[in-house]
Copies of this chain bind each other. A is one copy, B any other.
C-alpha cells in the first residue's frame, strides 16, 4: 500500500461514545468531521470505534486506542446525566484517579452562575477529569473538553453535541495538533468516469497505486456497474514539503484520466476535477 495512508504526523483513532449511535438513532457525523480535520492536519486515522455508554467498555476502547495510536479523540459522554461516564472511563484506562479539576470546576460554575443557577452534583460531575488533565473551554455549551498527555501520546475528549465538539476542536485541539511534528500539505483530485464499469477500470487503479508513495487512489461507484457505470476516482495524498503532494496527486490523476481515455477510447467520458 502506498504511504499516503500513513502519515507525517502520526496515527489517530476516533472513539464515539453513545448508545444512540449503536441503535442507529443518530448518524455519526462527528466522526466524519473529525476524520476529515485530522486527515487535513496530517494524521492517519486508522480506526473509528463506536462504543456504548458503559464505563468498562469505554475504558477498554481507550486502552486499545492508546496501545496503537499517537492521538486519540473521543466524542460524547461528558454531560451531566448518569450515563455520561467518559471522564471516569478515561481515568480508569490511564490508571489515574478521577477527581474534580479546579479549573474545570471554575469554567462550569461560571456558565451556570451567569443565569443564577447553583452548583449541583450533576453539574460538578462535568468537572471531574483524570488527574493531570487540562480542561478545554467550551464556548458553546457547559461541559469542558478534556486533554491528557500520556508520554508522547495525546488524548482529547470532546462533547457529543456537534457544535460544541467542533468549537472546542477548532479553538483548542487543532492548533496543538498542527504544532506537533513537521508541517503537512494535503492535495486531492477527482477523476469522474462515465461509461466504463469499475471492474474494467480496476487495472488502471492498480497501476496508479504504484506510481507514488505519497498518493492513494480509490474508485467509488456512483452509477450502475453493468447498465450505466459512473465512477468517481479519488486521488489524494499528503507531504511535508510544500507543493509536493499537489504535484504528485496531479501527476497520478492525469495518468488515471489519460490511461482510461486511452484504454476505452469509444466508451469513456473522463473529466478531471
Contacts and interface: CB of A to CB of B under 8 A. Distances in A.
Interface string A21-56: 111111111011111111100001111111111100
A142 B197 CA distance: 10
Contacts of A80: 197-199, 202
B49 A49 contact: yes
A62 interface: no
A48 B49 contact: yes
Contacts of A205: 81-82
Given A32-B27, A34-B24, A142-B226, A1 B54 contact: yes
B50 A22 contact: no
A236 B48 contact: no
A236 B57 CA distance: 21
A122 B201 CA distance: 9
B52 A50 contact: no
Contacts of A33: 24
B36 A46 contact: no
Contact of A22 (B24, B35, B142): B35
A104 to B, nearest CB: 14
Interface stretch (A147-155, A166-174, A175-183, A213-221): A213-221
A47 B52 CA distance: 7
Contact of A198 (B21, B29, B46, B79): B79
B81 A218 contact: yes
Interface stretch (A94-102, A108-116, A244-252, A255-263): A108-116
Interface of A: 1, 5, 16, 19-29, 31-39, 44-54, 57, 79-83, 111-112, 114-115, 117, 120, 122-123, 126, 140-142, 161, 197-203, 205-206, 209, 216, 218-221, 224-227, 234, 236
19 contacts: A19-B218, A20-B234, A21-B32, A21-B35, A22-B47, A23-B35, A23-B36, A48-B49, A79-B198, A79-B221, A80-B199, A81-B219, A82-B205, A82-B206, A111-B225, A112-B199, A120-B199, A142-B199, A142-B226
